[in-house]
Chain A
């Protein structure tokens, strides 16, 4: 089941009513219901893969308890923690990366003949997300940052909570797990804000992402025949497609969780208003970035070591981050590209220059800020082209096509309806997000005091979203990761 399906429109109100009216009085039953609803949500796609979630949940829960019981014997605790990590990463590796490595091995040593060694396994939706979430728990228990829970239902609810099960945010046990341990009280204003955030997420997904995707897919499907200008247009649209798709999903997830009295962590903070790459990575996919920072970068020494080591750590973190997205050289190249952009900043100590939101208290950014934002966006967009390409050779042909002098003059592409209409919606999205850039989401309505205006805006957004809605619309991009 996906958020952008009619079945979810029926599923959510039913689960909401049962959650508050039927199971609301007993925490254990309420958590059990969350697990059941989440398993229905996930199993709607393919129930067989529920077994994987159950195994991941059970092993992480059990290892947490075992690690805690061995807290006086660090060596034993380390072994248990390592075993759990190996098991979880083993499952992830088998389903997500085995064929990639097998194919690469065959390319190198078997002349590309990999028929006998490929498994062709279906990649379970969201496996990287829930695996990392489960892993963070056992690592936190090992580090003594969180006490393990004996309540298996509570833990299963933590791993499988349906709004964030398939594409994050990758929650931490320190934030989400305790929320399943205490009684939830319905908060009216939080629920209303949740609906607003959901609406904004749907707008981004349905109106921006899906609509841009049609254009982008067409161009990327036939790169050699496209003019340079059209390739640039597609690159820009993909930058907004992936942002609207993923941040749209996140907004729907966080908004849905709010309806159930659960607060999920923020995953996006207007990343396209960043002034440098370091700021971009503090604002893009925050839950994954901080996950890698806490569980990989800092244990490797982080930035408190020699400069060559810092460079190595940075390179590793970006390559792993790229590889996390999928088993393809394009993702690794994308990670390497960002590492190369990030390295000068961290080596010169400028990586934490912009911590605050751009132009606080001002309507417009300064001239310098504007160009910084534009430059950062351009660099990020180049990275997205590598990310979007099916192969490195396709990415290369894209860049070659863009640089083709004769065709780049075809700027009329930017004034044609199919680009202009999308650009108008993107401009509206950026305008709204700029206005509310200090808020948790674009439709916070913090500055709109009149109820009539607020409702008019809601209705306009709903109308546009429903007009663009198609029950067979594409799935969220990040489901594949």
Chain B
């Protein structure tokens, strides 16, 4: 009886994780086809379709703050926002080298730097940006060989046993859902410059329910104490234009 019980439990667990893997695939593919900004950028970079004279390189400062339409009209040249959300300088540099390899080199690169970009960490924040691309062959080809590219020393890079991988599958389902929700609702970063009180999003296992609560602008500014936050006048104009 005990053996039968254990066997059934084992079978249920296997079926459960197989179903999740299927879910994961479907959600990833749906999210990949969306207009979720980080995904679009990777598609552009890997597809070799960008033709820009000025490239703004950086993290989400660029993704959120660099309005290409406005810049095109002001400068009279083609610009492209090469934002890599949450990235440090080394990853930005890697992304730019991919960009150069696949696209026409720009005439000017403007690198937006903040304290995050200068920090030394192997962790990649905002992991959700990759999950829609997890089943994309081109992306896997460029990203997988780079050590700790995805999760920076966390479980996935050392995956050895099946269930650990499946734990990541669960996370990815969650992240894909989160990405999916953000596509159809509102991107968290776009709130940062619009609200007096900011909505803070928790990105993690609970991904697809993004609202955690609210903190004041002052609280957010406190997070920036160990670095320099560059906020150029161009960006400010860009924000004003957007709002």
Contact = CB atoms under 8 A, between A and B. Distances in A.
A23 interface: no
A21 B204 CA distance: 39
Interface in A443-481: 455, 458-459, 462-463, 466-470
Given A20-B2, A467-B206, A470-B204, A421 B212 contact: no
Given A467-B208, A468-B205, A468-B206, A462 B2 contact: no
B170 A467 contact: yes
Contacts of B9: 195
Contacts of A21: 2
Interface of B: 1-2, 4-6, 9, 12, 16, 19-20, 170, 173-174, 204-209, 211-213
A307 interface: no
Contact of A470 (B12, B19, B205, B213): B205
A470 B206 contact: yes
Contacts of A468: 205-206
A186 B1 CA distance: 7
Given A186-B1, A470-B206, A417 B211 contact: yes
Contacts, number: 49
The list of the 4 closest CB pairs from A to B, nearest first, reads A418-B211, A417-B211, A20-B2, A186-B1
B77 to A, nearest CB: 41
Contacts of B207: 467
A186 B2 CA distance: 7
B41 to A, nearest CB: 27
A192 B5 contact: yes
A218 interface: yes
A459 B173 contact: no
Given A214-B213, A463-B20, A470-B205, 19 more contacts: A17-B6, A21-B2, A186-B1, A186-B5, A192-B5, A214-B212, A215-B213, A418-B213, A421-B209, A459-B16, A463-B16, A466-B170, A467-B205, A467-B208, A468-B205, A468-B206, A469-B205, A470-B204, A470-B206
A188 interface: yes
Chain A contact-residue range equals 20 to 34
Contacts of B209: 417, 421
Nearest to B208: A467
Interface string A186-204: 1110011001000000000
Interface of A: 17, 20-21, 186-188, 191-192, 195, 211, 214-215, 218, 416-418, 421, 455, 458-459, 462-463, 466-470
A188 B9 CA distance: 12
B5 A188 contact: yes
Contacts of A463: 16, 20, 170
A459 B19 contact: yes
A421 B2 contact: no
Interface-centre pick from A188, A421, A455, A466 (highest chain B CB count, 10 A): A466
B206 A421 contact: no
A187 B2 CA distance: 8
A218 B213 contact: yes
A467 B207 CA distance: 8
Contact of A467 (B6, B174, B212, B213): B174
A188 B6 CA distance: 10
Contacts of A455: 12
